[in-house]
Structure 1
Amino acid sequence: VREVPAAGRYGEAVAVAVARMRAGEFDKVVLARTLELTSAREPDLPAMLRRLARHDPAGYTFAVPSGPGRTLVGASPELLVSLRDGRLTANPLAGSAPRSTDLAEDVRRAVALLESEKDLHEHAVVVAAVREALAPFCTALEVPERPTLVRTAAMWHLSTTVTGEVSAPDTTALDLASALHPTPAVCGTPTELARRVIAESEPFDRGAYTGMVGWQNADGDGEWVVTIRCAEAEGRTLRLFAGAGVVAASTPEAETAETAAKFRTFLHAVGAAL
């Protein structure tokens, strides 16, 4: 098991980003790290996929080729956008808290997340960006005023379901997904500056991580999800990805703990642990 970067180095990158945000340079950046698992034999990807689907039945489980000899496997909780018969749905997630195996503590964490000023701000930034990206395509767009909670096996997330009617009949699901990508939930804001901060801070290439995976039919209807809670398999190596949204109120300890919690989805599927 190898962490890239190590937890301490990741925390240092978070601290630098927080200092820059408090100085007014930018508003948010999503910083990620990886966990490389190497075993004596190649992982059983079909079995892993089944375990992921059972572990998070409400998620979007996928396995797609990502390069020669490489497969991207994941169980994403986040719908980027879907389009059916002219009606779109987007479900941005931002603001997270790890689940607890103790029921009372799990409920306390959920309530705290709903009341957290830091997480509500992080979520509002993402929802505003989604609204701005989708509005030009729509005759009507419905955006709830406050987020709700969704849960996976490992995490609580703040969630907003955005719906709308597209104005042009030739608009496709991929048009909408391309307009949305990358949302502040996986990149940051302002987007181009956040991209540069990510490139400066992360000692690895994200590849397909935080991209999008999905489908579209000949009518333009389709469904695209954000490629998070995923790993790339190549030979005997499985590389896991996890990120955390960093804002001015973030702390290195909390964001490092959040990435560790997000790794647990995959660690459970392969029987490994940090």
Structure 2
Amino acid sequence: MILVYTHKITPRIRYIFKHILTRTLLIPVGFTSEVAEFVAHNGPKFSYTKTPLGKEFFIKSNDLLFEQGVNDLDINIQKWEGVPCFFSTGSQAAIPYDIFAASFYLISRYEEYLPHVKDIHGRYTASESLAYKNGFLEKPVIDIWAYKLLQHLKEKFPDFKYKTRSFEYISTIDIDNAFAYKHKNFIRTLGGFINDLLKLRLLDVWYRLTVILKIKKDPFDTFQRILHAKKTADIHTIFFCSIGDYTTFDTNVSASKNKYRLLIKELLDYADVGL
């Protein structure tokens, strides 16, 4: 176990320290706000506060994890060995940034609780985010920061037994619309033809007609190919099948259709299925 001293133990601190140290780095963590307990601890330890207690492994804390509520923060993005980071800690700290506060800011989606422009569905748009504006939206910076911290911990506490995380690839497939044209009722099929004709999508009219007449295969019916790839590569696969009611945005085949039920049963014979 690694012991963390901080002047105030808050729910935010417990959450993000456990996420980085325990969930990500597989290091059990304990907390104390008692200096005597921290000094007496013989195992790995570090302080997370405003000033170091002595010559211990020290990370200067940002105020974010000690606050309540949401405030508009002034964030300055800098680079830590080429990786975007923020909440600089200064020269006294063992690492140059408070990655715990920065990670909490990102993982809690803190900025989404601040006033922002929503899209047509009432959602926060990625283009409004700090990550998008600073070019790291698709970079797993929290994990990168965590493993940078791990390297510093290994240098400071080389005798501690660190665990190595193992990974497993799981293929998850969402079936939002099992079939493009077939197994739809007469009204939906007729409506599809009319809609394609009105929008002059003549190629779609042709595809729809050939599928309904069983001349061609439905373009969404790729399940046998997926199952073959799963078997060949021995991939753990989970299908998630939509069985909700028909809406403007959910246009799947009705779950009451026997063909759709048979498809789900067939998938269940070879893979895990969620509804």
TM normalised by structure 2 equals 0.23
TM normalised by structure 1 equals 0.23
Please say which structure displays the higher CA radius of gyration: 2
- More strand per residue: 1
By relative contact order (CA 8 Å, sep 6+), the higher-ranking structure is 1
